[in-house]
Amino acid sequence: MVPKVIGIIPARYASKRLPGKPLLDVAGKPIIQHVFERARQAKLMTDVLVATDDEHISKVVSAFGGKVVMTPTSIQSGSDRAAYAAKSLDAEIVVNIQGDEPFINPEMIDETVQALLDDDQIEVSTPVRRIASSEELSNPSVVKVVLDENEYGLYFSRAVIPFLRMMQDRRDWVEQHQFYKHIGLYVFRRKFLLTFTQWDRSPLEQAELLEQLRILEHGHRIKCVLTEHDAFSIDTPEDLESLRKKMRS
């Protein structure tokens, strides 16, 4: 029997840099609608829903035909919000889809889900993409990951990893070594998602502000799925304007 796969898009109204981000208009639609419609194109998910703490977001999602689960405002992280929604779902696999990536590629979602369908020992998977420029490599907003020989994540960091000690000019690093960018999409076994989100925030997680490090610090593994697709998240007003320009073109 094929496992039931549910996509959850956590959507929080409060944002320090972009309040009400899920509802901001891009090309005539709110960001959350772009994400929802792209996610619905993935072939391996049975259903997609939005998990939110805000009535405005709930009304907008319902208006364009999306399903909504209301969550407490006290929940801070996307994984915690997804876990809260997943408690009441009949699904074996849960896909945590970032609510601020309107260009998310449905094929990338399917690639990452497929890893769990192919191997029932994998608890969580996430996509990674080769870094192609020194600008991207040096950007702390781009999370880097190093992989073992079986393509499991050894460590995730905002810093450049690995450090090429024998090369002084970082502009040449991407030509001499394969660096990987982490894309913030997660596919969980539902049982593992509910367990992982009950653990306290770990020291490395608090240092880097990367919740996937909590998984590694507890001795579990994250399968990294190599993809050719990329993602563009909206974190600042500049990101939003850049996105609007891309959509217009």
In a domain, 187, yes or no: yes
Give the per-residue pLDDT at 26.
Answer: 83
- State the DSSP string of 168-227: --GGGHHHHS--EEE-S-EEEEHHHHHHHTTSPPPHHHHHHT-THHHHHHTT---EEEE-
Q: What is the pLDDT of residues 203-213, one digit of tens each?
A: 999 999 999 99
Q: Under 8 Å CB-to-CB from 117, ≥6 apart: which residues?
A: 2, 3, 44, 93
Average pLDDT over residues 193-201: 95
In a domain, 106, yes or no: yes
Number of domains in the chain: 1
Asked if 181 and 129 count as a contact pair (C-beta separation under 8 A), the reply is yes
In a domain, 157, yes or no: no
- Provide the pLDDT confidence category of residue 20 given band limits of 50, 70 and 90: confident
In a domain, 215, yes or no: yes
**Any idea which of 32-46, 61-75, 162-176, 194-208 has the lowest mean pLDDT?**
162-176
Using a 10 angstrom Cβ sphere, with 0-12 exposed, 13-18 middle and 19 or more buried, the burial of residue 230 is middle
In a domain, 105, yes or no: yes
Number of neighbouring beta carbons within 10 Å of residue 73: 12
Query: CATH number, domain at 113?
Result: 3.90.550.10
Q: Could you list the residue range(s) of the whole structural domain that residue 84 is in?
A: 5-126+181-248
Q: How far apart are CA 116 and CA 187, in angstroms?
A: 8
Q: Under 8 Å CB-to-CB from 68, ≥6 apart: which residues?
A: 49, 50, 51, 52, 57, 58, 61, 62
3-state secondary structure of 5: strand
Residue 247 has pLDDT above 90, yes or no: no
Q: What is the pLDDT of residues 41-74, one digit of tens each?
A: 999 999 999 999 999 999 999 999 999 999 998 8
In a domain, 149, yes or no: no
Give the per-residue pLDDT at 1.
Answer: 66
Q: How far apart are CA 197 and CA 218, in angstroms?
A: 12
Give the per-residue pLDDT at 16.
Answer: 66
In a domain, 108, yes or no: yes
In a domain, 185, yes or no: yes
Asked if 35 and 9 count as a contact pair (C-beta separation under 8 A), the reply is yes
